[in-house]
Amino acid sequence: MPEFKYSFQEYDPLIHVRASGREVDISPKAAREICATIKGMSLTQAKNFLENVIKLKQPVPFKRYKKEIGHRGGIQGFYTGRYPVKAAKKILEVLNNLEANADYKGMDIDRLVIIHAAAMRGRKIKTYIPRAFGRSSPHFNTLVHLEFVAKEV
């Protein structure tokens, strides 16, 4: 088994709480945009935001991967966006783990602020689809590593 480490270096167990999801099967681009959006939010705000994304009520602004994406209403500060439901569900699971870790440490859940949210590409699952005349086409799936660190403010 690989030994995963966090990219957040200034970790202090007395004031920080962290959680990670390793090799999650979601879109790396959508995960990156969600992490960029919820960084700096409180934990309850981030969970409400992701629940609204799952219900298709609030879009996630796509700031880097924005080519040929339609405009959405209700986005503050940007114009393009999407509703990445699958990625939002998986990230919400990791945020629930973060909340459980904070509760175990005895921290106040209402005062937690997400100070580090990162989505990094993991390993590729390489498969091939057979085609006509003895050919094949690659069908690669990239997994994602998620990291979240919150601080009690």
Q: Tell me whether residue 8 is in a domain.
A: no
Q: Tell me whether residue 70 is in a domain.
A: yes
CATH of the domain at 109: 3.90.470.10
Q: Tell me whether residue 115 is in a domain.
A: yes
Q: What angle in degrees, to the nearest 10, is found between the helix axes of 43-54 and 28-38?
A: 140
Is 72 buried (19+), middle (13-18) or exposed (0-12) by CB count in 10 A?
Answer: middle
Q: Tell me whether residue 7 is in a domain.
A: no
| Cα–Cα nearest to 60, from 41, 40, 79 | 79
- The pLDDT value recorded for residue 142 is 97
What is the band of 140 on the pLDDT scale with cuts at 50, 70, 90? very high
- Contact between residue 147 and residue 18 where contact means Cβ atoms under 8 Å apart: yes
pLDDT tens-digit profile of 44-87?
999 999 999 999 999 999 999 999 998 988 887 889 999 999 99
- Count structural domains, the chain: 1
Q: Tell me whether residue 118 is in a domain.
A: yes
Q: Is the dihedral of CA 39, 42, 44, 45 positive or negative?
A: negative
Domain extent at residue 86: 16-152
Q: Tell me whether residue 30 is in a domain.
A: yes
Q: Phi and psi dihedrals of 128, rounded to 5?
A: -130, 140
